Amino acid sequence: MNTRIKGHTQVKKSLLLVLVLTMLATTGGCKQGPWLLWDSYSAHFIDDQGRVVDHQGNDRTTSEGQAYGLFFALVNNDRARFDHLLNWTRANMASGDLSTHLPGWLWGKNAAGEWKSLDSNSASDADVWMAYTLIEAGRMWKAPAYSTLGHQMMTLIAKSEITDLPGFGLMLLPAPIGYHHQSSPSLQSWTLNPSYLPLFLFERLALEDPGGPWQHVALNIPNLLRQSAVHGYAMDWVSYVPGDGFFPVVAHPEKNTETPLGSYDAIRVYLWAGMIDAGDKQKGEVLSAIPAMSTYLVDHDSPPEKVSDLGIPMAQDGPAGYSAALLPYLSSYPGIEKARARQMIRLSKMRDQVSGLYGKDQTYFDQNLALFATGFLESRFRFGLDGKLKVDWTNA
């Protein structure tokens, strides 16, 4: 009896796997009506002012959340929501003027119960996504004011968040303050975050500003990944020491209470890699730097939540957003369709039918990863060879 039940279960699993593989092969990523996940996300995480609220983070707002919201609103051709998000960001995170102030990365409630900016230091990943999205909004909506603001943000980023690493070249700092460490002229290091570096964003900014630092950064991204992912897994934070190169570190090297990991930041490295245009010659270089996760998932049902700096996956399964983020990445490697199908099945099982959101806790971060991944797989957007955004509602 037990053998019969077990066999029946295996047949059901096999049929489900075949069904998903067939869907992957035949849908071609066609858009399927309204973007229901974006509708659910907007209802749950964006208030009437245009503030993206991280409910699991004490209802805080980050510049990353605002930048992602702007991007998704543009993809969905939702200009009214785009303007709400932009206006709130400008008023509350950029001293009223994004043309002269990069947004502080954190806004929320302080110890006195006041809602305000909690840290004026900007986060460069949010800044680059925001500048990129503004430039593309100006192009696709034929609204030059957006593009002008995007160019002004590019100027601020180039001035305060791009650095020249001795012996390596130009690279993006995580923020203007706190990531260059110098105890003497001959002893210095820089802390960097590989997940802040989607190749296609810098290729697009390079097209917009050929004389700027963007193409140099773009060309250095595969090198940074190859040197910092020494075991084939992306790391959350890495340090660069002239003469010694890159090695994994915690976010703040002066704190020795944590272990370097590949985790909630690094998962985005795989996501960005999978969304690079197939014709981009640097895509192969990026993928060849971080192949270990694809190899791991050939024989495992779930991605690890954490990977040690020695390249050892931790036992605990990653959340729903991890499976989503890895779908474009896995589709970039031939011959592992079953590994991709397993992640698609896992993700589909973790969607709440009432809220339309993913995961047991339906966290803000999981939904962002799922929006990027499913929007890409459904061909709601693509990034061209030059990094230009391609959406289905315009041929611009």
Residue 116: partners with Cβ closer than 8 Å, 6 or more residues away: 107, 110
Q: Which residues are identified as catalytic? A: 64, 125
Q: What 3-state class would DSSP assign to 300?
A: coil
Joined together, the tokens standing for residue 163 give 């650095």
Residue 378 phi, psi dihedral angles, 5° rounding: -85, 5
Torsion, CA 20, CA 305, CA 280, CA 396, rounded to 10? 70
Contacts of 11-17 spanning 24+ positions with Cβ under 8 A: 16/345, 17/338, 17/341, 17/342, 17/345
Torsion, CA 178, CA 56, CA 61, CA 170, rounded to 10? 40
> In this structure, are residues 103 and 126 in contact, taking their beta carbons and an 8 Å threshold?
yes
The DSSP result for 227-288, as a single string, is HH-TTSS--SEEEEETTTEEEEE-SSTT--SS--EESTTTHHHHHHHHHS-TT-HHHHHHHH
> In this structure, are residues 209 and 151 in contact, taking their beta carbons and an 8 Å threshold?
yes
What is the identity of the amino acid at 105?
A: W
